Amino acid sequence: MNLSEIKKIGIVGAGTMGQGIAQICAMADLHVVLYDINAAMLVTAKKLITRNLDKGIERGKVSEEVKKTTLENIGFSSEFDDLKADVVIEAIVEKLEIKQSLFQKLEALNGADTILASNTSSIPITRIGASLERPEQFVGMHFFNPAHIMKLVEVISGAATSPQVARLINELAKKLGKVPVMAKDAPGFIVNRVARHFYVEGLKVLEEGVADVEAIDRLVEASGFRMGPFRLMDLIGVDTNFSVTSSMFEAFHQDGKFRPSRIQEQKVDAGHHGRKSGRGFYNYK
């Protein structure tokens, strides 16, 4: 397969990341099927994608014609059989067993040439692909939130990933207007491994009572960062961020420097997931 032969993209998971990935693929004139087992998620996804496009029009970055074509290019489905595609990208919960089960089903549904890609931000690609019959067709394609805006995409090769597959996904990312970086397989890959302590240390400062949430954010932002750790966790999703930290803590054999925060865990338990829930470390209601 070459880049010109990629016509249809399947995306599993209509949450924040899935919506953004679907939007940019459709804007690149690819036919997209956005799948979610929860039909209500698909309704929400369509509304949010439309809202993103409307904001683009307001800012002069998107035309009415592009909005119309983009929405026409996206199919919203709860039928798993609709995920027969040239490339299928997974954007679901950060749980190894759930991802492995999903990709086994996707592999059985699709042909030998289909590329299966995971948007995982922390789980090793080799580990997910180990349960597949064709692990050479499996690769990491890690977008960053919000996916329709952030330029970076990590393309991660597992131990069995075909170099041709990795190169093709690298080309696909460029077609989507992204800046791809090729990475080797390791917990957290490049960005999340480096950035994890941005969150973890901020949470430790909070746990030790050195400063409150707003003071920590103001200090970091005054140092040149666009967002402090707590504003950024609220944007990404407190639950998503906690899941990634927990995954990396286990992947690094419970190395203390990756220890998840009890304060963050309590936020997750309370349903305070950040902007998407109306409340996180800050109140958005």
Q: Which of 73, 118, 142, 247 is catalytic?
A: 142
Catalytic residue among 90, 94, 107, 154: 154
What phi and psi values does residue 45 have, to the nearest 5 degrees?
-60, -45
Q: Which pLDDT value is given to residue 119?
A: 97
For the chain, what percent of residues have pLDDT higher than 70? 100
Contact 151, 178 (CB under 8 A): yes
Could you report the per-residue pLDDT of 216-244, keeping only the tens digit for each? 999 999 999 999 999 999 998 999 899 99
Q: Give the tens place of pLDDT for each residue, 20-59.
A: 999 999 999 999 999 999 999 999 999 999 999 999 999 9
Higher pLDDT, 121 or 119: 119
Dist CA 75 CA 64 (whole Å): 19
Confidence of residue 270 (pLDDT cuts 50, 70, 90): very high
Annotation says 38 is catalytic: no
Residue 187's pLDDT is what? 86
Known active-site residue 192 = yes
User: Which pLDDT does position 90 carry in this prediction?
Assistant: 98
Q: How confident is the model at residue 256 (pLDDT cuts 50, 70, 90)?
A: very high
User: By mean pLDDT, which of 146-160, 243-257, 263-277 is the weakest?
Assistant: 243-257
Tokens in use for 68? 């119309």
Q: Tell me, what's the pLDDT at 185?
A: 95
Per-residue model confidence (pLDDT) at position 94: 87
Mean pLDDT, residues 183-199 taken together: 92
Residue 53 near residue 23, CB atoms below 8 Å: yes
Hey, what's the torsion of the CAs at 238, 233, 202, 259, to 10 degrees?
40
Mean pLDDT taken over the chain:
95
> pLDDT value at position 18?
96
Q: Give the closest residue to 245 by CA, choosing from 102, 101, 94.
A: 94
Candidate list 52, 119, 121, 241, residue with the active-site label: 121
Does the annotation mark 31 as catalytic? no
Q: What is the mean pLDDT of residues 250-267?
A: 94
Give the three-class secondary structure for 245.
helix
Pairing of strands 152-157, 179-184: parallel
Q: Which of 119, 192, 243, 247 is catalytic?
A: 192
Supply the Cα-derived Rg of the chain in whole angstroms.
19
- pLDDT digit string, tens, across residues 133-151: 999 999 999 999 889 999 9
Q: Sketch the domain layout of the chain as residue ranges.
A: 3-184, 192-277
Note the helical H segments in 64-124.
64-73, 96-109
Predicted model pTM: 0.88
Of the options 2.60.40.1120, 1.10.1040.50, 1.25.10.10, 1.10.3720.10, the CATH number for the domain spanning 192-277:
1.10.1040.50
Quick one: fold of 3-184?
Answer: Rossmann fold (3.40.50)
Does the pLDDT at position 1 exceed 90?
no
154 is catalytic: yes
Above 90 in pLDDT, residue 122? no
What average pLDDT does this structure show over 250-260? 92
